[in-house]
Structure 1
Amino acid sequence: MELRHLRYFAVLAEELHFGRAAERLHMAQPPLSQRIRDLERELGVRLFDRTRPRIQLTEAGALLLEHTRPVLAGVDTAREAMRRLRPGEAGMLRVGVPPDTRPPVLRTLTAGFARRVPDVLIDLHELTTDEQLVRLREGELDAGVVRHPSDTVGLESGPVLRRELGVVLPADHPSAHPADPPSAHPADHPSAPGGAPVRLRDLDGASLVIFPRVMAPRLYDHLLLVCRDAGFLPGAIRHARNPDFVHGLVLAGRGVHLNEAPTAPLPEGLVWRPLDNFSLAWLTSVVWVPTRHNEAIAAFADAVHESLTEAGHRPHDRPHDRP
């Protein structure tokens, strides 16, 4: 018994007219009649009563139809599921984003992607940079939004965007209200809101609250190296990845935290200040396996670029506009 024969039978059972059924199946009437006879011969029963002016289902035919409908529905469901798993048009795109991606960025990203390729579903996964790189190479992701520096050997990357980092401090920290040096007015900094820039060397000896190294080893090492070269050697390093836990540690006086300018008010008792060191920045891009590139991945890269730009990120290769 072939699946197509069951489909022929189901359509004829619905139409009870060979001509209309053949038209729905895009085939001639004689082959349809032959396929139904073959099915009846195989099952050893008559499925249709052809002795009346209008053909009717026999008792055996009605029983077979009862069993056939869920089979055909299950096949259609399976086909739809497989179709949506294909990356690209009328499929699904599996992508990774950093755990600290801001809500406005996600909103703009998903809306921008849907606008570009409305027939593709986007399956978002909250993953660290290294988790994304592993899954990309194993074929479990189609694209990822990663932070640099990172090990992207063998992967293709879209344009790199940057967002300068500042420091989250307790409101009573000595660096929370620095005097404005003549050459360092807030307007000189890409993230002007937040007061005069803080010098990294003025944080020397303070504990640093930072993401665990396993999340992005190369980025972790790079941040600590920049801090060391600028005169900031942390007295201790405490790891945290949840923003609430990070802010709780800073509020409790357990360290300072490096991050981009907040998009929402910080908890009472905390302040964000820009830094005078432009080497500290989130460098972000979309990456993918070159052989899997398609229209959906290109649309995702464009949507990420749009959402990050709207959030204050800018091209990495463009110098600061300094007076």
Structure 2
Amino acid sequence: MELRHLRYFAVLAEELHFGRAAERLHMAQPPLSQRIRDLERELGVRLFDRTRHRVQLTEAGALLLEHVRPVLSGVETAREAMRRIRPGEAGMLRAGVPPDTNPVVLPTLTAGFARQAPDVLIELHELTTDQQLTRLREGELDAGVVRHPSDTVGLESGPVARRELGVVLPADFPSADGTPAGEGTGPLRLRDVDGTPLIIFPREMAPRLYDHILTVCRDEGFLPGAIRHARNPHFVHGLVLAGRGIHLNEAPGAPLPQGLVWRPLERAELAWTTSVVWVPSRHNQAVAAFTRAVTEGLKAAGHRIVDEEPAGEARE
């Protein structure tokens, strides 16, 4: 039983006239008659009583119509849902953002996107860089906000934003001159914390970025005494307060818990380097609007745009 045959049946049941039904269906009358006969043969019942002057539903036809109407209504509802989910067509844009995205970014991002693409709903997913890249390639996301370096081969990217990282550490952590870290505001050198345990995100979140951070630390004279993994900011801060290590991150947007301080690094070798990426074949006006909105949000959170290359240019 084909869906189109059920639709032919429903239209004929409403019109009770082969000519008018065929006109509504944009088809000739003979093929319509043939399709109805095929349906009757398949079901083993007569659906219409036909005479030269009128067409009437049989009891079986009336019963079938009761079942067919909700089926056709459900199909149309499903079609409408699929139309709405197509990005850029008064639909929905599915996008990923890193779990530790600065809170300042999100309100600026969503407001900017609503202003630029008012007919498109945005659905944000909290995902790691590698999770985003996987879902982009599998068609489950339309765009992602990822940290670099990362495996973006085959994807396209918007402007790159950069925010230098510093060190979150206990206020009584001894600086190179012997004074507690909480008593100074000047930059630290990575070699000043050599041997201290490091608290960092799990490697599977962004393998290339993870390896890059550890390589820079080594090159700058910082070999952690141990590496501990954490992704939740509250857990990270608790570990630092407990003396379990130090943490590399951008300057905090809100006051840190009592007992913690943030100090910039003397050399700006470590940074969050972020951009929007997408599959080239899925780029459209909604993705472009999202890219602009993310750029606005990152600027509001203190990032500077280091690559104003137009969105749509491919890079690895």
Could you tell me the TM-score, scaled by structure 1's length? 0.76
User: How well do the aligned residues superpose, as a CA RMSD in angstroms?
Assistant: 3.5
C-alpha distance 48-110 of structure 1, shift in aligned 2 (>3 A): farther
Q: Give the conservation status (yes or no) of the 8 Å contact 2:200–2:230.
A: yes
| 1:95 CA displacement | 2.6
Q: Give the conservation status (yes or no) of the 8 Å contact 2:216–2:270.
A: yes
Number of the residue aligned with 2:293: 303
| 1:89 CA displacement | 1.9
| 1:224 CA displacement | 2.3
Tell whether 2:282 aligns with 1:292: yes
**Structure 1 segment 269-280 matched on structure 2, within 5 A:** 269-280=259-270
Query: Identity of aligned pairs, percent?
Result: 74
C-alpha distance 149-5 of structure 1, shift in aligned 2 (>3 A): closer
Query: Cα deviation per residue 1:157-211 (whole Å; 9 max; x = unaligned)?
Result: 11100111122112222342344xxxxxxxxxxxxxxx33333333222221111
Number of the residue aligned with 1:143: 143
Q: Give the conservation status (yes or no) of the 8 Å contact 2:182–2:261.
A: no
C-alpha distance 46-148 of structure 1, shift in aligned 2 (>3 A): closer
Number of the residue aligned with 1:168: 168
Number of the residue aligned with 1:63: 63
Residue in structure 1 matching 2:255, options 265, 275, 288: 265
Pairs aligned (count): 299
The code of the aligned residue for 1:269 comes to G
Query: Cα deviation per residue 1:279-309 (whole Å; 9 max; x = unaligned)?
Result: 2210000112223322222122112112111
C-alpha distance 216-12 of structure 1, shift in aligned 2 (>3 A): same
Number of the residue aligned with 2:93: 93
Aligned to 1:206, the other structure's residue is in SS state coil
Number of the residue aligned with 2:182: 177
How far apart are the structure 2 equivalents of 1:317 and 1:45? 71
C-alpha distance 280-40 of structure 1, shift in aligned 2 (>3 A): same
Unpaired runs of 5+ in structure 1? Answer: 180-194, 319-323
Tell whether 2:203 aligns with 1:206: no
| 1:229 CA displacement | 3.2
C-alpha distance 96-9 of structure 1, shift in aligned 2 (>3 A): same
Number of the residue aligned with 1:107: 107
The code of the aligned residue for 1:160 comes to V
How far apart are the structure 2 equivalents of 1:39 and 1:20? 15
Aligned to 1:238, the other structure's residue is in SS state strand
Q: Give the conservation status (yes or no) of the 8 Å contact 2:18–2:33.
A: no
| 1:250 CA displacement | 0.3
Q: Give the conservation status (yes or no) of the 8 Å contact 1:5–1:36.
A: no
Q: Give the conservation status (yes or no) of the 8 Å contact 1:167–1:258.
A: yes
Number of the residue aligned with 1:152: 152
The code of the aligned residue for 2:167 comes to V
| 1:79 CA displacement | 1.6
| 1:259 CA displacement | 0.6
Could you tell me the TM-score, scaled by structure 2's length? 0.77
| 1:212 CA displacement | 1.9
Q: Give the conservation status (yes or no) of the 8 Å contact 1:209–1:237.
A: yes
Residue in structure 2 matching 1:254, options 239, 244, 258: 244
Mean Cα deviation higher: 42-51 or 109-118? 42-51
How far apart are the structure 1 equivalents of 2:156 and 2:86? 20
**Structure 1 segment 175-254 matched on structure 2, within 5 A:** 175=175, 176-179=181-184, 195-254=185-244
Q: Give the conservation status (yes or no) of the 8 Å contact 2:22–2:32.
A: no
Query: Cα deviation per residue 1:36-95 (whole Å; 9 max; x = unaligned)?
Result: 897389535465899999x98664454232111111022113323433454442444333
Query: Cα deviation per residue 1:96-120 (whole Å; 9 max; x = unaligned)?
Result: 2212123442333234333333443
Number of the residue aligned with 1:183: none
Q: Give the conservation status (yes or no) of the 8 Å contact 2:145–2:274.
A: yes
Aligned to 1:277, the other structure's residue is in SS state coil
The code of the aligned residue for 2:110 comes to T
Number of the residue aligned with 1:185: none
Aligned to 2:163, the other structure's residue is in SS state strand
Unpaired runs of 5+ in structure 2? Answer: 176-180, 309-316
C-alpha distance 27-260 of structure 1, shift in aligned 2 (>3 A): same
Residue in structure 1 matching 2:271, options 281, 288, 293: 281
